[in-house]
Copies of this chain bind each other. A is one copy, B any other.
Amino acid sequence: VDFRFSTGLKVRFAETDAQGVAHNAVYLVWFEIARIDYLARFRGGYPGLRAEGIEALTIESHVRYLTPVRFDDRLTIRARCGELRGARFRFDYVIDRDDGGERVADGWTRHACVDGRNYRPIRVPVWLAEAIATAEA
């Protein structure tokens, strides 16, 4: 499958643990960074969604840790969005080490838009659904 979007980051020292590698929970933070950078291309992006009173909750996450990464490793996260249906959507991710290009992790997250006042499900705004459809077409 194809990824048309990517963003880069460098493993922070604070993200490592006593095994000398990035801690397993940090990958979900990295997925979120990719997701936010992905959405930032469309009208206000994620802060714009929030300004409209919409929160995007994470309702499921999955990570496969393929090979450990270490402090100062430069990584590229590719992300793609799909399965938009009503309030829901899904992101897929792969993470590669820049040096050597090795795949270090992959995974996906599922999300639901909710009304920020009452946390009731609310449809993904049309402008966002269309922007994503165009970006992924």
Contact = CB atoms under 8 A, between A and B. Distances in A.
Interface of A: 12-14, 16-21, 23-26, 28-29, 32-33, 36, 46-47, 55, 57-65, 68, 70-72, 109, 119
Contacts of A23: 13-14
Given A14-B25, A58-B65, A60-B65, 7 more contacts: A12-B29, A14-B17, A14-B32, A18-B71, A24-B28, A28-B28, A61-B62
Q: Is the interface of A mostly helix, strand, loop or mixed?
A: mixed
Stoichiometry, copies per complex: 4
A46 to B, nearest CB: 8
Contact of A33 (B12, B20, B28, B109): B12
A49 to B, nearest CB: 12
